[in-house]
Chain A
Amino acid sequence: MAFDKMELRDIEVWDGNFAAAQALRQCQIDVVAAYPITPSTPIVEGYAKFLADGYVEGEFVMVESEHAAMSGCIGASAAGGRVATATSSQGYALMVETLYQASGMRLPIILNVVNRALASPLNVNGDHSDMYLGRDSGWIQLNAYCPQDAYDLNFIAFKVAENHEVRLPCMVHQDGFMTSHTAQGVKTLTDDAAYGFVGDFKAMNDMLDFEHPVTHGVQTEEDWHFEHKARQHSDLMTKVMPKIQDAFDAFEKLSGRKYNIVEKYDIDDADVCVVCMGTSVETAREVATEMRAKGIKAGVVGLRVIRPFPFFEIQEALKGVKAIATLDRSSPNGAPGMLFNEVAGCLFNLDKRPLLSGKIYGLGGRDLTKKHLVDLYTELQANVDAGKVTTQLQQFIGVRGPKLSFL
């Protein structure tokens, strides 16, 4: 093919955005249609530069909005190409209509979402509001905790999404600024190893196969709509997880780096545990270890796969824990919080149910400090000692003003 290979050091110091851009280069994306938005812009900028410098054979399509960006990706994917883009926050919100189109048309597009708060008030920093907004859109959602994950999960995403038994689009989430603009050591794959892992794109029902013409994006009313949606849901519930596990296994064989559908840390004998996502998972692991030195048996459960939701894996991970707190980094605006609700659903039918409380934290990039987590584990231990949740079920962490708690 007509492109140059790039020599990488075994460990490069990259931020999450550049790690994702490098992964897109190594996967040799055919089409990126993109519109810039902080903090995800450097991903598509990076791809555009690699393209201009002759490191990729592909097309960069500059469009007038994120709605058009995803629409362009949908067209290119339906036409039979390997397609990716990136966005955040308001741009993601504008994409929502087309997210449903992409998944309903079963197009294996990869969307790097650099998680950022949603206005109003406007805020460019990292929280999970945009990520939560798309959780019913029929996409697979993978979650990175650091730049290394953002790099690796892009390869996993293509491998899973493009599998002909899956054929669903996939988001790779990373925390705005805390991952996207934080430089850390990233262990690299060679261009050949990386491309070998994802393999050549194998088109299926592509629009430009003139021997076998097909129609994409059709209308179905009450006669067929439900069957299409049911089949998509059925595939998400039954076919996707095994393919993700296969991809994790193959990736471990290639790189030595092991990913799990649910990332368990010190959970086997844990009395208390937090369930969270993004960079908070790693900070919580460090604090959990420190709590153990103080005699509190603390663990962490991190979601690696958000959709499809790993119902039984979460249930299995948490069933022996005595007190659990879920950490939602998105304002639930009148409800307990996504993780609280989903985890409660996992635990409800157990014979012996752990004590469950939910925390809202980190909105608009507000720091989650180790001190917050020390206090949280201490509170969970108090719940264990009292045999009941000693606080209201929902509390806010790190917000100024009078302490906020509800339910």
Chain B
Amino acid sequence: MLEIRWHSRAGQGAVTGAKGLADVISTTGKHVQAFAFYGSAKRGAAMTAYNRVADKMIMNHEKYMEPDFVFVIDPALVYTSDVTINAKADTKYIITTHLTKEELVKSQPKLEGKEVHTVDCIKIAQETIGRPIPNTPMLGAFMKISGMYDIEFFKESMVRILGKLPQKIIDANMIAIQRAYDEVK
């Protein structure tokens, strides 16, 4: 079982990202689950989304999770939410930030001693898609860190999932995914 928790703000695309990732993984024969905590969240409110991946049918519907990966797609959530909650000793973090890893860990001591990767998904999204929607770049960074799939396979799959969007938005997303893949540290 692989478990992922997303930290996001409502409107940044964590739910779409989690469902998109689940869709890609499902095509490779694995079982998937993607869900989120909504509450009465308004656009901009901190929220979390979740992925589970397993080789057999996923029966567990508890919301509690000790994640293998934590994705933070809004830079401020590292300070305003506890992104380390319910984490394991070997949980890996991929965090959107303009800071270096050292600066980030210094500014949020809870991340000390953890496996932390940084990538500026907001900047990448703004420069490619033209809007600060950091969900697809985060998935590019995840492909690099996890080595889950070949990046070309992943991008091809995402083209299908983004299928209904205008071609130039799809193209921009592909560049964003590739840039995050290349730039994540």
Contact = CB atoms under 8 A, between A and B. Distances in A.
Interface stretch (A132-140, A309-317, A365-373): A365-373
A186 to B, nearest CB: 10
Contacts of A248: none
A368 B32 contact: no
Contact of A282 (B22, B32, B34, B60): B60
A286 interface: yes
Contact of B34 (A175, A178, A183, A280): A183
B18 to A, nearest CB: 8
A146 B63 CA distance: 14
B64 A13 contact: no
B26 A182 contact: no
B182 to A, nearest CB: 28
B127 to A, nearest CB: 30
Nearest to B63: A367
A149 B107 CA distance: 47
Nearest to B18: A183
A283 interface: yes
Given A13-B22, A13-B26, A184 B32 contact: yes
B4 to A, nearest CB: 13
A276 to B, nearest CB: 11
B61 A183 contact: no
Interface string B11-38: 0000000110011001000011111101
Nearest to A373: B62
Contact of A182 (B31, B35, B39): B35
Nearest to B40: A124
Give the size range of A's interface with the partner: 20 to 34
A34 B125 CA distance: 38
Interface residue tally on B, bucketed by range: 20 to 34
Nearest to A183: B34
Contacts of B35: 177-178, 181-183
A185 B23 CA distance: 8
A61 interface: no
Contacts of A185: 26, 31-32
Residue in A177, A178, A185, A368 whose Cβ sees the most chain B Cβ within 10 Å: A185
Interface string B54-72: 0000111111100000000
A124 B39 CA distance: 7
Which 9 A-B pairs have CB atoms at the shortest separation, nearest pair first?
A279-B61, A182-B35, A282-B59, A286-B59, A183-B34, A13-B23, A367-B63, A369-B64, A369-B62
Interface of A: 11, 13, 15, 124-125, 146, 175, 177-178, 181-185, 279-280, 282-283, 285-286, 367-371
Given A178-B35, A286-B59, A367-B63, 17 more contacts: A13-B19, A13-B26, A124-B39, A175-B61, A181-B38, A183-B18, A183-B23, A183-B32, A184-B31, A184-B33, A184-B34, A185-B26, A185-B32, A282-B61, A283-B62, A285-B59, A367-B62
14 contacts: A13-B19, A124-B40, A178-B63, A183-B19, A183-B32, A184-B31, A184-B33, A184-B58, A285-B59, A286-B60, A367-B62, A367-B63, A368-B62, A370-B64
Interface of B: 18-19, 22-23, 26, 31-36, 38-40, 58-64
